Amino acid sequence: MRLADTLQVLSIVSVALVIAIFLADGGAARFGTPADALTSLGILSGLVGSDLLLVMLLLAARLPLIDRAFGHDRAMAVHQSLGKPALYLLLAHGALLVGGYALAENSTLPAEVWTMLTQLPDMPLAFVGLGLLIAVVVSSIVVVRRRFRYEAWHAVHLLAYIAVLVSIPHQLSVGGLLRDGTFQRYYWLALYAAVAGSILLFRFVIPVVRSIRHGLVVAGVDRVAPGVVSIRLKGRRLNKLNASAGQFFIWRFWTPGLWWQAHPFSLSAAPGGNSLRITVRGLGDATAELPSLTRGTRVSFEGPYGLFTERARTSPRLVLVAAGIGVAPIRSLLESASFEPGGATVILRSPTVGEGYLADEMAELCARRGATLRVIAGHRPAGVDSWLPADAAAAGVTLATLVPELREADLYVCGPRRWTDAVVQDARSAGMRTRQVHYERFDW
């Protein structure tokens, strides 16, 4: 908690610093006329918007500190929540500057835009960057995102890096706030360098080094259900990864149809020795090829990531709830978690009886470890935000009625986003504290 609080404070301080830099450079005195006020507000909104954009990139850079403090799921939730505010501030930046310049020069808005594009250095790149950011944010809206294949959406999302790069030149060449030789210029460049260095180190250098060191390859592929397979992996000194049950990696399989895409998949068995296992469902063009992987296929990876582990435990009792392919990390947790016989309850949700993944393995593990298993089948009610089947929801069944000792347990939930959110809401309505509830959502 202290680490999480410290990182949150640093994020707020970073925004406060850019405002302070603007004010220290005489910004407070540049509001004397309507034109100056618009221009100053435009500069300020651009500084804050750019700072939020850098915070977003850091949250997505998979820094170990951020992962330990928040976990990947919560870090990406904050990342997504900052997208619209950052874009709105940058749109305001452009609109206010155009309005301020037009008012100062007694010009029309279209004429001022043309002047900026043709006479101010690096301004065309800034407009390109803004256009790319708009595309990224629009593609991240849930309604729009669901129309994309994962591979296409991921490719669009990578445009954010290009958008940031092409926006840097105009920040340094237009206006005097970041003029050469000033403290604020060096501070601003240091921010960009720190973010770029973090992305380069933790997204590229360390994963490449680890992938080469551990020599991971496919040991076998087992069919679980139509479109669902368990992939067994083997390598060298995998204990050095310090992976825990419940965590996930970003995997890249080096075959002609898959090498260009990396996907997050959770461990579906507790890590041990020199082997790992993941269970995946083909949802996109690339993942549909996973069942055809051959033994010996080389695998590179990033990770492990996530706080969906034993380290988050606060109680000796345990409740594990899964739907769909969310059973993968739940199964690995069940295999390795510490609890007394009768001290764990497993709830598996599926549309119909027998449709759940890894059902036989879960039943065998529950019997061997003394966990209570509940399989709840049925379709969710239309128009009602419930995680239970229609008949159970109508009868007033809740998580607390299914598990009377719920408030004295830790709850782990994994499944589709809306379903997981409904389970978490049910748990909080039952009086569970935030630190007792741990979840991962399968949704890109």
All residues at 6 or more sequence positions from 198 whose CB lies less than 8 Å from its CB, including other chains: 58, 61, 63
Parts of the chain with a pLDDT under 50: 143, 444
Give the closest residue to 306 by CA, choosing from 329, 277, 334.
329
Predicted pLDDT of residue 51: 93
CATH 1.10.240.10 for domain 310-442: no
**What is the layout of strands, in order, in the sheet containing 228-234?**
217-225, 228-234, 275-281
ω before 304 within 30° of 0 (cis)?
yes
For residue 330, give the amino acid letter. I
Predicted pLDDT of residue 145: 59
pTM given for the model: 0.84
Predicted pLDDT of residue 441: 84
Q: Six-digit token pair at 157?
A: 């999302």
Question: Domains of the chain: which residue ranges?
Answer: 2-208, 215-305, 310-442
Question: Checking DSSP bridges between strand 263-266 and strand 275-281, what pairing results, if any?
Answer: unpaired
Predicted pLDDT of residue 20: 92
Predicted pLDDT of residue 152: 66
Give the closest residue to 374 by CA, choosing from 409, 408, 390, 350.
350
For residue 36, give the amino acid letter. D
CA pair distance 309, 329, nearest whole angstrom: 9
Predicted pLDDT of residue 252: 94
Predicted pLDDT of residue 226: 84
Q: Residue 359, CB half-sphere, CA atoms under 13 Å: how many? A: 16
Give the closest residue to 51 by CA, choosing from 157, 159, 184, 246.
184
Cα dihedral value 34, 38, 39, 44, nearest 10: 140
Instruction: Tell me the CATH number for domain 215-305.
Output: 2.40.30.10
Burial class (CB in 10 A: 0-12, 13-18, 19+), 49: buried
CA pair distance 284, 153, nearest whole angstrom: 11
CA 82 to mean position of chain CA atoms: 12
Predicted pLDDT of residue 291: 87
CA pair distance 129, 256, nearest whole angstrom: 32
